Every structure is written in structure tokens, then in C-alpha cells.
Chain A
Amino acid sequence: MPVNADFQGRSYPPSGPYAVTAADIAAFASAVGSDDPVHHDPEVARGAGYADVIAPPTFAVTIAQRCDAEYVKDPESGIDYSRVVHGEQRFVHHRPITAGDEILGELTVDSIRSAGGHSMITTRTELTAGGEPVCTSTSTIVVRGGEDA
């Protein structure tokens, strides 16, 4: 089934809350090789003006991808996940994601385009905590065309 273009412009109700723990942040920071003590030491983080340890700049993708799941895994979307590759990713941070945050994510399917037999889907997830903006995560996935595309 081809990617369903009817989903362009669709917005989803907020999903979550996704609780962010210090352990989540420490594991992610270690995995991407960030030794900055603001990820690991709450005293250092508070000294730098944060409420607790903060996440690396790409951590937001872990929450955004959970928000995406409702769309990407919807059979009506026509997305064959085995044919998906990540094309582009962008973050605009309004403040760092911080341990103790309860994040809500609001997903919008910004665009669905076809090019060269592939489909390119751009989704945007607005992450908030306590009603305040935290991060805008924008992702473009490429669904590679199959034999029947």
C-alpha cells in the first residue's frame, strides 16, 4: 500500500506524559559520548542554573519517536516501517530537557511528498512540560518505494 497522503496536515492529541529520569539522561549521555557533568551530577547542573541534570541536545528524539508511533504504526498511514530510513532531523530547544520533566508531545504531519518513487514524510512534535514549550523536534523519514510503488 502506498503512503497515504490524506494524513498531511493531521494533528494528534497530546501523548504522554513521558517521565524523564536522571538514569535515562545518564544512559543517553554516555551512549553519545558526552562526559559533561551537567548530565550526571545534580549539584553541577544546579550550579549551572538548571533544576536538575539535563539531557544532551538530541535526547528529545527518544520522546518524539514515541509520539510518532501512533501515526507511523497506524495501518491507514500506509507506512511500511521496514522500508523507512531517517532522512533529516532538527531540534529547536526552548530549554534543556531536565530530569523530573513530565513531557507531553503534540504531533503534526507537516508534509508528505513523493520523489523518485520514494515518499518523504516530515513530522513535527511540540514537546511541552507544565504547559511551557521545551523542544520542537522535526523529523523527515524516507519510505523507500517498493516493487509495487
Chain B
Amino acid sequence: MSIRTAAETQAGDVFGPHTVPVARETLVAYADASGDQNPIHQDEDFAKSVGLPDVIAHGMWTMGAAGSAVSRWAGGAGRVVEFGTRFTKPVVVPATGADVVIGGTVKSVDSQTRRAVVDMTVTAGGEKVLGRCVATVQLD
């Protein structure tokens, strides 16, 4: 994986959209890795009992998947220096799994600091699940 350079990057550049599958097993793996064992992310009966349509993904799993996508584009996971989002809608994960679609658009590049600001679009079932999802990445 080579590091992207600021010189080769400009506002308006896009990457993706990439489709990322999410299965119930993905959420169990995330729960184990993150320590967030809330049953709404694993147990369909429990999720429905608290008024959710089905199991929902951890918001932080979705943000993490977006982080993986922007890291891959930048050329390294250590390149993400700022990253923020709002969680606007849950990703519903039925027993058959779901797809999250992740893309990014470069908003600006600072040639002095060689940092790029990337606006990310993350959807599931055609609806935005993350709002104001913005990453600042350090390029070479």
C-alpha cells in the first residue's frame, strides 16, 4: 500500500462507493473486539423487544468501516488524524445480513500541511446512516 501524496490529490477527487457486507457474525466480532456487548447488536428477540425493527449494527462498527475505507484510500491507517461523525440512522442487520455503501469526496487539500479533508458518504438501504462524517488525513 503506497501513501497518497498531497500533490496528486485535489478537491473533488472521489473514491468508492465500495459495498461492505455486514453479517450478524461481523457484529459479534465487533462486540468481542470493542467490549460493547449491548444485546441490541446481537440478539434479534431482544432488539425487537425494545422496539427496534431487528438487530442493528454498532454505530461505532459503521464508523470503523468508514475509517478503514478512508485509511485504505490514504495509504495507511496511521494517516487519519481527525475523524468525526453523527449517527443519524441505525444499520439494520437481518439474519441474511446487510450492505453498507461507503464513499468519499475530497473537500480540500492544504499544500502546506499536506492534509486533506474528506467528506464521507455512508448509506445502507439507500439511506444515509452517518451524517457529517469527515476525516482529515495526513498525506505525503
Q: A residues engaging B (CB < 8 A)?
A: 24, 27-39, 48, 50, 54-58, 61-62, 65-66, 82, 85-93, 96, 138
In the assembled complex, the Cα of A57 lies from the Cα of B138 at a distance in Å of 13
Task: Say yes or no: is B20 at the interface (Cβ < 8 Å to chain A).
Answer: yes
Q: Name the residue of chain B whose CB is nearest to the CB of A44.
A: B1
In residues 29-64 of chain B, which contact A (Cβ within 8 Å)?
29-30, 32-36, 50, 59-61, 63-64
Are B64's CB and A31's CB within 8 A? Answer: yes
> Given A31-B61, A90-B82, does the pair A57, B34 have CB atoms closer than 8 Å?
no
In the assembled complex, the Cα of A35 lies from the Cα of B68 at a distance in Å of 8
Are A38's CB and B78's CB within 8 A? Answer: yes
Are A90's CB and B84's CB within 8 A? Answer: yes
Are B34's CB and A31's CB within 8 A? Answer: yes
Task: Say yes or no: is B103 at the interface (Cβ < 8 Å to chain A).
Answer: no
A-B contact pairs, 7 of them (CB 8 A): A28-B34, A36-B68, A57-B135, A82-B50, A86-B59, A90-B85, A93-B82
In the assembled complex, the Cα of A124 lies from the Cα of B81 at a distance in Å of 17
Q: Name the residue of chain B whose CB is nearest to the CB of A85.
A: B87
Give chain B residues whose Cβ lies under 8 Å from the Cβ of A29: 68, 77
Are B87's CB and A39's CB within 8 A? Answer: no
Greatest chain B CB density within 10 A among A36, A54, A66, A96 is at A36
Chain B: interface size category? 20 to 34
Q: Name the residue of chain B whose CB is nearest to the CB of A39.
A: B77
Give chain A residues whose Cβ lies under 8 Å from the Cβ of B15: none
> Given A31-B29, A57-B80, A65-B36, does the pair A88, B65 have CB atoms closer than 8 Å?
no
Task: Say yes or no: is B72 at the interface (Cβ < 8 Å to chain A).
Answer: yes
In the assembled complex, the Cα of A33 lies from the Cα of B81 at a distance in Å of 19
Q: Name the residue of chain A whose CB is nearest to the CB of B62.
A: A32
Give chain B residues whose Cβ lies under 8 Å from the Cβ of A31: 26, 29-30, 32-34, 61, 64
Task: Say yes or no: is B86 at the interface (Cβ < 8 Å to chain A).
Answer: yes
Are A87's CB and B78's CB within 8 A? Answer: no
In the assembled complex, the Cα of A57 lies from the Cα of B137 at a distance in Å of 11
Are A87's CB and B87's CB within 8 A? Answer: yes
